[in-house]
Amino acid sequence: GQNIDQPTEMTATEGAIVQINCTYQTSGFNGLFWYQQHAGEAPTFLSYNVLDGLEEKGRFSSFLSRSKGYSYLLLKELQMKDSASYLCAVRDPLTGGGNKLTFGTGTQLKVEL
Amino acid sequence: NAGVTQTPKFRVLKTGQSMTLLCAQDMNHEYMYWYRQDPGMGLRLIHYSVGEGTTAKGEVPDGYNVSRLKKQNFLLGLESAAPSQTSVYFCASSYGENIQYFGAGTRLSVL
Output the average pLDDT for chain A: 93
In angstroms, the separation between the Cα of residue A112 and the nearest Cα of chain B is 24
Q: At a CB cut-off of 8 Å and minimum separation 6, what does B79 contact? A: B18, B63, B65
Give tens-digit pLDDT for B38-83.
988 889 999 999 999 999 999 899 999 999 999 999 999 999 999 9
Cβ–Cβ under 8 Å, residues B107 and B10: yes
CA A110 to chain centre: 15
B105: chain A residues, CB-CB within 8 Å: 40-42
A42: chain B residues, CB-CB within 8 Å: 4, 90, 102-105
CB contact under 8 Å between A43 and B90, yes or no, is yes
How would residue A96 be classed by pLDDT, with cut points 50, 70 and 90? Answer: low
- Whether the per-residue pLDDT at A15 is higher than 80: the answer is yes
Give tens-digit pLDDT for A20-71.
999 999 878 889 999 999 999 999 999 999 999 999 999 999 999 999 999 9
The pLDDT assigned to B34 comes to: 97
A33: chain B residues, CB-CB within 8 Å: 99-100
